[in-house]
Structure 1
Amino acid sequence: MSEVNAEIARFDLLVDAAWPAPGRAEDGGWVYRHAGGVTKRANSVLPLGERADLPEAVDRAERFYAGIGQPCVFSVGMGASPGLDDELGRRGYRLVDPTLVMTSPISGDEAAVGAAVEDRPSERWLRTWWSVDGGRHRDTGEGPARTWGERILGGVPAGYVLLEEGAVGRGVPQGRWLGIYCMAVEPHARRRGLGAAVLRTLLAWGWQCGADSAYLVVTEANGGARALYEREGFAVAGRYHYRVRS
């Protein structure tokens, strides 16, 4: 792996740490993540490193997820085991949700809107986030989906911004990096600059926490969000996608 690719591959670990699945099991360099089906990110194999036993490793992953009653999903990023994507393609796994990793330097000059950055999400914050993001997740036999979402959020220290007009965001300090997550604006409040205001507030807070760079992930299909992030100085640094068994 080149030095450039090695740097990009670090985002696999940053994202995993910032969005931690409550359920985890390890097999060599792979991690089986599960969180009641809430987000592919927390319900997929993180398959890092060389694997001499690649077909057998995939077999074991499939048995693990079958054992907990969930589909077997792989997150395939720059650090994924060599040959894995081709192996999954041969097995009939569909490529879904191609996703961009976008980064931006933090200068310390970001203009915050004065909203407080709290160390935990309020009920209002949770309602706003879930009203935008939660429709994709159904309650399961393992418990209400929003409860799993709250467990993921609480798995790592983070900062939470709420604009009462109907916008939220979450920042995760990770050394020199600030991870930006949970950017959500309620439909009635869109096209008013609220998303940019939340983002700038988080960036200013991240600078105070010692970060000099920020990253976020956004699906390629989300043109509106991508345009916002590009206007705010973010550029594509890497890509990943998921493989889902047909």
Structure 2
Amino acid sequence: MRRGWPALAESDLDGWLARVSGGVTQRANSVASLAEPADVDAAVSAVERLYAEHGLPAVFQVGPTARPADLDARLAARGYEFGSPTVFEVAETAAVLARLPAHPVPVTLADEPDESWMDLWWRVDGRGGADARAVARAILTGGPARYAAVDGPHGALAVARLALVGEWGGLYCLAVHPAARRRGLGTAVTRALLADAAPAGVSRCWLQVRAENAAALALYEAAGFTPAARYHYRTSPPPRDS
């Protein structure tokens, strides 16, 4: 997941990896607690100082491999706020391709997102102005990936990204223009990406979906994905007024 959505900068803080990317997306601006620090409280303080230097709150991504094992409880005791519960799902690429129906609409594939691709994704899922969009593009292109789009007369109608990490492909950035929904275009770009990557050795794939999005979870289950883990974020409380 880290390689599929790479941060612009990473700092090793005694086994914790603090990712910083201008505040654009929680994934790229949170701590991956890969190993237990010698002094957990000191490590949390170091994290808070680092993010404060960048004008950001301290954010931890907390899942089943977080270290120490009681990290979530420790952060909650410090007033860190719970948010963005997410399900991490996996599937065999061949199984997904067998379940997704073919769609006759032409799909364009590329190694980088063009402006039409970015315009649609940012319209549907973007947060912030031009500077944030530039950071987001740097995150997207920070590692190998493929980009799919269904083009319309005035720009992209559907887009998606597949991060390439060895035998794994990570599905990100699925977005469909509001006027083009319920036409199977999201399925079309997803299938095109996996069909393109499978011959190159991408035998397994993953995606992340918010835990409360029951409709999306049902769709992904029908496509062959199964839950593998859950994670959430803990965000430092806002500073108290003096």
Whether TM-score is above 0.5 comes out as yes
Answer yes or no: is 1:158 the counterpart of 2:150.
no
Secondary structure of 2:193 counterpart: helix
The answer on whether the counterparts of 1:138 and 1:145 sit within 8 Å (CA) in structure 2 is yes
Answer yes or no: is 1:19 the counterpart of 2:9.
no
Q: Which residue of 2 aligns with 1:180?
A: 171
Distance 2:227 2:205 in 1: 12
Secondary structure of 1:21 counterpart: coil
Q: Which residue of 1 aligns with 2:50?
A: 64
Question: What one-letter code is carried by the residue in structure 2 that aligns with 1:199?
Answer: T
Which of 107, 129, 137 is 2:121 aligned to? 129
Question: What one-letter code is carried by the residue in structure 1 that aligns with 2:116?
Answer: R
- What whole-Å deviation, never above 9, does each CA across 1:185-207 have from its counterpart, x for those lacking one? 12111111111111111121221
The answer on whether the counterparts of 2:33 and 2:66 sit within 8 Å (CA) in structure 1 is yes
Q: Which residue of 1 aligns with 2:135?
A: 148
Count of residues in Structure 1 that have an aligned counterpart in Structure 2: 227
Question: What one-letter code is carried by the residue in structure 1 that aligns with 2:23?
Answer: G
| Structure 2: segments with no counterpart, 5+ residues | 238-242
Distance 1:147 1:73 in 2: 22
The answer on whether the counterparts of 2:82 and 2:235 sit within 8 Å (CA) in structure 1 is yes
Q: Could you tell me the TM-score, scaled by structure 1's length?
A: 0.87
The answer on whether the counterparts of 2:14 and 2:38 sit within 8 Å (CA) in structure 1 is no
The answer on whether the counterparts of 2:107 and 2:188 sit within 8 Å (CA) in structure 1 is no
Distance 2:189 2:222 in 1: 14
Give the root-mean-square deviation of aligned CA atoms.
Answer: 1.6
The answer on whether the counterparts of 1:100 and 1:218 sit within 8 Å (CA) in structure 2 is yes
Q: Could you tell me the TM-score, scaled by structure 2's length?
A: 0.88
Secondary structure of 2:51 counterpart: helix
Compare CA radii of gyration and give the structure with the larger one.
2
Distance 2:66 2:16 in 1: 9
- What whole-Å deviation, never above 9, does each CA across 1:102-142 have from its counterpart, x for those lacking one? 111111855664523211111110101100011xx224xxx
Question: What one-letter code is carried by the residue in structure 2 that aligns with 1:138?
Answer: G
Q: Which residue of 2 aligns with 1:194?
A: 185
Matches within 5 A, 1:199-218: 199-218=190-209
Q: Which residue of 1 aligns with 2:15?
A: 29
| Structure 1: segments with no counterpart, 5+ residues | 1-14
- What whole-Å deviation, never above 9, does each CA across 1:28-85 have from its counterpart, x for those lacking one? 2211111111110011111111223111111110111111110111011222112211
The answer on whether the counterparts of 1:112 and 1:204 sit within 8 Å (CA) in structure 2 is no
